[in-house]
Chains A and B, each alone.
Chain A
Amino acid sequence: MNKTYHLLTGLHFAVCTLAMIWPGALIANRIEPTVLGLPFLFFWYILWMLILFVGMWIAYVVRHGGGRHE
């Protein structure tokens, strides 16, 4: 489980990072469709900030959720 855990968190971090820079952000480099009134590229960044948070939260609960201290 430990190896899979580190692999998955590492993958999550890598995907989030690449989504916010080249080449990931290339696919979102447009104005339409607007979401919540924001141009798509702006929304893209707000979305990935949220995805980063949710992924880290899951990783935290899996590792530290049982009250186990490091």
Chain B
Amino acid sequence: MWFATGVVVMNDSIIVVGITLTYLVLVLWVGLRARGQENSSLEGYVAGGRHVGVVILFFILGAEIFSAFAFLGAPGWSYQHGAPAFYILAYLSLIPITIWAMGPRVAKLGRERGYLTQGDMIADHYQSKTLGILAGVIGVLALVPYLTIQIAGAGLLFQAATDGLIPFWLGALLAFLVVAAYVFCSGLNGIGWTNLLQGIMMIVIAWFLGLSISERLYGGVGEMFSQIQLTMPKYLTMPGATGMNWGYFSTAVLVSAFGGAMWPHLFMKFYSADSGKTLRKVSVFYPLYAYLLVPLLFIGFAGILTFSDSPLERSDTVLLRMVMDVANFSPWVIGLMLSGALAAAMSTGANLAHTAAVVLVRDVVGPTLMKSASEKAVVSATRWSVLGLSLVAYLCALANPASLVLLLLGAYGLIVQLFPMVIGALFMPQLRRASVMAGALVGSFAYLMMEFIWSSPLNWHAGTWAMLLNIGVVAACQWLIKPAFAKPSPTNR
């Protein structure tokens, strides 16, 4: 802790704000510059004309996963629980398996049949507009709260790092304006180039902070862990300090790793790849992106020792407290820390705003209110939806309704239940519409019940039970119910 006079604190905060604003201007400049000629077409605006290459796609998919959670939640987990935080490393590095297996097929179908969203594929394959609209509505319901969390994260970071010089509402507004501006103008191309910049920023800042904090306070990473081993060894192995069991740990990894690709903002990027080969290459290098989290977990572990006498009230403030109060960094470093953490929030936020707008217009409004609209009108509706939905998310962040997290949890659980439906559309044409719908309904209902009313059996992650039920119902329907008017085709008995 330092006790400086007000004047010094003020000057320090001005340096922090100066660095961060410079960074925001840089991001805005890169984002606006990326505007290509193809942005007037829907395919260009939504999927980068379906020819996004390896490097940009790698950073887009990376940025989507590493949100404000990476800088706030992940160190918070290792600080609060210890070893159970490795669940984040596990599921992030396993996500590429889904990309490897599913991505090239999704990209190929998208190219052949003009799909741009998940709803497109489901509606077309199962010949049901209702299913497509439903997938769209659930998607928007999950994406907007997620975006709100990013915007609120940006506001909190600004307020904390500048000692209140930039208040919450202004910090959130600045970050959201920059993001909305370049997504509005440049579409996926803007997201791609800014995510490249923001990704590099995040990696450099994360490693710098993780290594220098353990070096400054304990003389190195190894030294730090031996001290934890001496005083609080239970943090270093499972079940950790809070007693998380293997059942929950393992099922949470499985649901997040394999259900995660059902998130519309991830799934839709498969369409933007220039080839299936590109997607494979991206998934090969993807586990390396997960190494970004390693130094951030170090910071949480450092916090275990530092705050052993007076535990933090909120574990997700551990990184901010370490950087600002404990490690005694100069305001320049604090400014860079803020920029790096904002990069994480903004790069994810840009993807979320873009995807939510596309899903809203293409899956929900398109088949209902804008049936015969021209492509130009659809593109412009999508752009304005980016602004509109960002504004909704910003207002939600200001109001901070407690139901937000519940909405996110609920909608996310429902999205994961689309899994058998998507697998059917991609690989198993013999799955019938009635079967996958029954499965998704039972799975979704079971998930909501376990998440909000009962507790989940054996303490497993509720999504796992719901998925098992879902698959069970699909299999049962396939066996039991013979289609009344089955067309004689080789795939449909």
Contact = CB atoms under 8 A, between A and B. Distances in A.
B405 interface: no
B94 A22 contact: no
A17 to B, nearest CB: 6
Nearest to B93: A49
Contact of A13 (B97, B104, B233): B97
Interface string B449-486: 00000000000000000000000000000000000000
B147 interface: no
Interface in A52-70: 52-53, 56-57, 59-60, 63-64, 69-70
Interface in B239-260: 246-247, 249-250, 253-254, 257
Interface stretch (B159-167, B191-199, B277-285, B326-334): B277-285
Contact of B284 (A20, A42, A60): A60
A56 B283 contact: yes
Contact of A41 (B94, B237, B276): B237
Contact of A22 (B86, B100, B250, B297): B250
Chain A interface, DSSP helix/strand/loop, else mixed: helix
A41 B228 CA distance: 14
Contact of A38 (B221, B246, B247): B221
A17 B96 CA distance: 11
A38 B238 contact: no
A42 B86 contact: yes
B83 interface: yes
Contacts of B249: 21-22
Contacts of A38: 221-222, 225
Contacts of A9: 100
Contacts of B238: 25, 29, 41
B236 A42 contact: yes
A70 B86 contact: no
Interface residues of A, number: 34
Contacts of B89: 20, 45-46, 49
B214 to A, nearest CB: 9
A30 to B, nearest CB: 6
B51 to A, nearest CB: 14
B225 A45 contact: no
Given A21-B250, A22-B246, A70-B104, A39 B275 contact: no
B236 A69 contact: no
A43 B136 CA distance: 41
Contacts of A57: 284
Interface in A23-53: 25-26, 29-31, 34, 36-39, 41-42, 45-46, 48-50, 52-53
B294 interface: yes
A34 B297 CA distance: 17
B222 A70 contact: no
B345 interface: no
A63 B2 CA distance: 58
Given A25-B238, A45-B86, A69-B277, A53 B287 contact: yes
B429 interface: no
Given A20-B94, A30-B237, A41-B86, A49 B281 contact: no
A53 B284 contact: yes
A60 to B, nearest CB: 5
A4 B222 CA distance: 42
Nearest to B214: A37
Nearest to A60: B284
Interface in B137-179: none
Interface of A: 9, 13, 16-17, 20-22, 25-26, 29-31, 34, 36-39, 41-42, 45-46, 48-50, 52-53, 56-57, 59-60, 63-64, 69-70
Interface of B: 83, 86, 89-90, 93-94, 96-97, 100, 104, 108, 220-223, 225-226, 229, 233, 236-238, 246-247, 249-250, 253-254, 257, 275-277, 280-281, 283-285, 287-288, 290-291, 294, 297
25 contacts: A13-B97, A17-B94, A17-B257, A21-B90, A21-B246, A29-B238, A34-B226, A36-B222, A37-B225, A38-B221, A38-B222, A41-B237, A45-B86, A45-B89, A46-B291, A49-B287, A49-B290, A50-B287, A52-B287, A53-B288, A56-B284, A60-B281, A60-B284, A63-B280, A64-B281
